[in-house]
């Protein structure tokens, strides 16, 4: 947007950018629901027993929420592949089931952009710019890089382009500004964060978030990695652990109230 210069003699007319701010608003993507990851049960099968497990996690987050202040929840894991991204998206999806809730899902794992949120939600080429773009170019406001998914009552902010220095990007004051903007515009902000043990990026989030949710893969995550992650996250901000991949299908207690039982016990969590 052009600004009025200090005019003393001949006026200088500042050229209008090729892309005016009003045209930079993100379009609403047309999702291919058939391509959305089936593991995103809070979005694709919200009445399933598996979705109820994420609803229990939603309850824990809602208990921490203060009406006058947005809640920033950071979902992380000790190692890659433990299921943190699936958990983060499902948590955001189940919070968004409240039609009055304003929920933002933010991808802050800048070392592996486009392999999690964009692919699992089948955003395709609609994703385009994202968090990294807003960090590198302060002219982008938060709303100009956020995608709104009306099908799910959910807003998402993918990582966008690959950051040449992920640690420096998350350490920058600009990243803090974007989080503050998110606090003002949303009720819940779910951060899909980097794994804790291999890289130090997640530790930069401690001063910004309200709590951490640590995702541990059943029969996969080494105990030593869990211990290291808990040590690094010490400070009273750990909300709890999610034991991902544990097979509860054998228990009759998890079948309560779910129709004729046609698909009971088919999904492992």
Better-predicted residue by pLDDT, 156 or 118: 156
Per-residue pLDDT tens for 72-83? 999 999 999 999
Name the nearest CA neighbour of 213 among 186, 193, 187: 193
pLDDT at 239: 95
Task: Determine the CATH number of domain 37-246.
Answer: 3.40.50.300
Percent of the chain with pLDDT over 70: 73
Name the nearest CA neighbour of 240 among 40, 43, 53, 47: 53
pLDDT at 9: 39
Mean of pLDDT over the chain: 80
Q: What is the pTM of this model?
A: 0.79
Containing 53, the helix (H) or strand (E) segment is helix 49-64
Q: How far is 187 from 119, CA to CA, in rounded Å?
A: 25
Per-residue pLDDT tens for 138-196? 999 999 999 988 888 999 999 988 889 999 999 999 999 999 999 999 999 999 999 99
Say if residue 251's pLDDT is above 80.
Answer: no
Give the single-character DSSP code of 69. B
Structural contact between residues 248 and 112, judged by C-beta atoms closer than 8 angstroms:
no
Tell me the domain boundaries of the chain: 37-246
Give the single-character DSSP code of 213. E
Per-residue pLDDT tens for 193-226? 999 999 999 999 999 999 999 999 988 999 999 9
């Amino acid at each position: 947007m052009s600004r009025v210069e200090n005019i003393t003699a001949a006026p200088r007319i500042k050229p209008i950018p090729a892309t005016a701010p009003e045209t930079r608003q993100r379009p609403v993507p047309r999702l291919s629901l058939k391509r959305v990851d089936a593991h995103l049960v809070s979005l694709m099968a919200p009445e399933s027993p598996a979705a109820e497990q994420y609803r229990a996690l939603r309850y824990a987050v809602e208990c921490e929420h203060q009406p006058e202040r947005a809640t920033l929840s950071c979902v992380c894991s000790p190692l890659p592949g433990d299921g943190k991204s699936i958990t983060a998206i499902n948590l955001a999806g189940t919070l968004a089931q409240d039609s009055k809730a304003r929920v933002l899902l933010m991808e802050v794992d800048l070392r592996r952009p486009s392999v999690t949120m964009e692919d699992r939600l089948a955003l395709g080429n609609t994703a385009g710019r994202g968090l990294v773009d807003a960090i590198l170019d302060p002219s982008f406001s938060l709303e100009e890089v956020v995608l709104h998914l009306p099908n799910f009552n959910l807003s998402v902010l993918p990582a966008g382009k690959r950051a040449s220095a992920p640690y420096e990007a998350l350490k920058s004051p600009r990243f803090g500004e974007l989080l503050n903007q998110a606090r003002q515009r949303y009720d819940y902000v779910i951060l899909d964060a980097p794994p804790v043990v291999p890289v130090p990026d997640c530790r930069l989030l401690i001063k910004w978030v309200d709590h951490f949710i640590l995702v541990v893969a059943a029969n996969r995550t080494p105990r030593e990695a869990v211990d290291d992650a808990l040590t690094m996250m010490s400070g009273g901000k750990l909300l709890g652990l999610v034991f991902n991949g544990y097979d509860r299908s054998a228990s009759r207690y998890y079948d309560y109230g779910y129709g004729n039982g046609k698909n009971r016990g088919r999904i492992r969590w």
